[in-house]
Chains A and B, each alone.
Chain A
Amino acid sequence: MKYIDEFRDGKLARGLAQAIRAEAKPERRYNFMEFCGGHTHAISRYGIEGLLPPNLLMIHGPGCPVCVLPIGRVDSAIDLALHRDVTLCTYGDVMRVPASGQMSLMKAKARGADVRMVYSTLDALRIARDEPGREVVFFAIGFETTTPPTAVAIKQAHAQGLANFSVFCNHVLTPAAIANILESPEVRKLGTVPLDGFVGPAHVSTVIGSQPYEFFAEEYQKPVVIAGFEPLDVMQAILMLVRQVNEGRAEVENEFSRAVTPEGNEKAKALVAEVFELRRSFEWRGLGEVPYSALRIKEAYRAFDAEIRFDLGYHAVADAKGCECGAILRGVKRPEDCKLFGTVCTPENPIGSCMVSSEGACAAHYTYGRFDDRAARKAG
């Protein structure tokens, strides 16, 4: 068992595709949202949409941390790197996120700012240890998967007395975003699509478990199937959702049982609870201000909070003109509906955040899906 090839078997995929087509009732529509960028990527890369019946639509959700990070927060990070003489460490995906004035951290680096791409929070800690004369800031973004590693780094910095290390915390929470898509009046006003169910996050759920989704299933009567990121996992989850809808059920089911338990990872959750607390509100690109949807560093560790150390304020900034990222993140529009898609906005030169990370709906569609569009146009 290698846990990869087994879950990409073509023969099994054909069987699952047949079962989905056979069981989806032609007289109704099925709109399912895959929350996670990881699923969006898998659906595009493996051509899963092409295997689904025409009345079953996969809507790409806002579960791509780079895509939902508002411009204002990236501006703050660029300001730190360019004007405050700090060494700014961050994950590779963040480097190319477009910010105000056509800037990005990559361009800040080209202008001489000390921006370093790291693979792990441990690398950022090592830089702080090796260069005690430099202020080292870790620009932390991501959902519940990347939060525990940031908590470990803050605890280690605390234990080792690393006074030149701090964290610019932008960690966000999955359940808050799902609730927002389902109920927020602002999001309703901006427009949403009717949803019949969710493909629940894979790796986020290894940490938080399957329990946090019980609320959505019960309160909003929406089925949730937690699925792994391999193509067979996604197809199995779609089939399980179709069955729930057909049988009038709204339950949390766990397809990714090889890694997800009801409780999740207790050790990781305890670390996060020790280091972080809820923010009253946080701006998401596409969703606007979402109450209690992000984390900040607790009082006990405030010495490592870059927002306090460098007195960072927050200024909301509007998206680039013509960019449809906001509507795409709510599932109202699809990448091919955006005028900028594939013309001025490409993965090499992203205008909107959805084109940056390979998990972004636009980047995934640009890399894999747009060839289907062309084929369809030719055929039509």
Chain B
Amino acid sequence: MNEHSRVLERDELEIAELRSPDVDLRLPAVVPREPFPIEPLTVDARQQTRAVGQRATRPDGRLHGLGQTKYIDDLSFPGMLYARIKRAGIASARIKHIDTSAAETMPGVMAVLIGKEIPTNSFGPTFQDQPVLADPIVRHAGDGVAAVAAVTEQIANEALAKIVVEYEPLPAVLDPVAAMREDSPQVHAPNSNIYATKVVRKGNIEKGFAESDRIFEARFSTQMIEHVSLEPHAAIADWDANGRLTIWATIGRITLARSDIARTLKLPMSRIRIIGTIVGGNFGGKNEISQEPTLALLSKKTGRPVKGVFTRGEEFIATTTRHPIIMDYKTGVSNKGRILARQIRLVLDGGAYCSWSATTLGKACILSPGPYKIDNVLAEAFVVYTNKTMTGAMRGFGAPQVCFAYESQMDDIAKALGIDPLEIRLLNAFDEGSSSPTGQVLHSVVIKESLRKAADRFGWEPRS
């Protein structure tokens, strides 16, 4: 029935019906025109050549939208077992004894694993300071101390409760500043708690402060943050009868994972296959191995595929987090608002293990002066061990922390000098060819364009 015949029928309708509170009452007296056939003026972005610059949809988008993407927890293999890891629950201790006998005799429990059984019980992307399962020293409450593989996850959980671990508590240090003192308990005795440092020095900081009209000093600090990916850390390990190990893992770096797993298991790389599955969120939290060697050894012991999926609680206590940083900023400026000198001291809470701390330390230190032309810079950064969840890679590697500090102080300077916050940034920001704090000549610098564009979009007007 087309639009025209529908209108003719209306003529025969009763008046009352026509007067009903209906949008049809606004019907025009003439028949609406047939619309032109609508044809897309452009083909789908995925079909276009050129390809770069197109708003191409993702090939995996349909499966995500339909809920059909297969994450690790959706995968299952015949005879597959479920692994769970017992967490220490104590921040600093020496393991005196682990009794796994009650767990081992439980029906449905196929294997139990402790740290002593791991060929090389240490890993880490920079320093190999992290055990797969703690043995004998526990350095944070989330350290794994034993693992179980059972026919169901429930039985594995029950078995964990039957593993008895005897601890000798050791003094713990939780505050990074306290951990820097010489009399502090050492997290990795006999080594110092300060495990990496970085310095960036440019110009003459004393001279810069001497030439400054005003000097601003402030301390900023940030908190520990978890990535909270929707998908927790998950993996399936299958050590087959040929001695070849296949691991399906939700991990962002398979090449590094294979070398770390080869090292921990003392296995040639050619016998290891890592398949990176669709990762349900990484944000830096899945850039290194975690439970994979444990699952592999449980699979070797049982001859069955073994799956491990972290609980949300384990995501918090047993995986890497964002570094809390204590940031001292001292900045000398001219009365016109030019930054002449900036001195920065950063103390990063490195948690119990290094993970990606050395990288975070470096980036935080290099970026800490901000995107500004400053001739005199001294930035010093320290990362220290504490008996807390390890800190590591997280979206920005220390940059969000130092940005919070340098941009907060920038506004304080602007306010004290009576300069508009946008203006003081445009006054100091890098130009094409500016020299960075490490002396690098910068190219394709568009910070001023970004400032102006955001200000335009926001509707930023200077206030008098």
A interacts with B: no
Q: Report which B residues bind A (CB closer than 8 A).
A: none
Q: Report which A residues bind B (CB closer than 8 A).
A: none
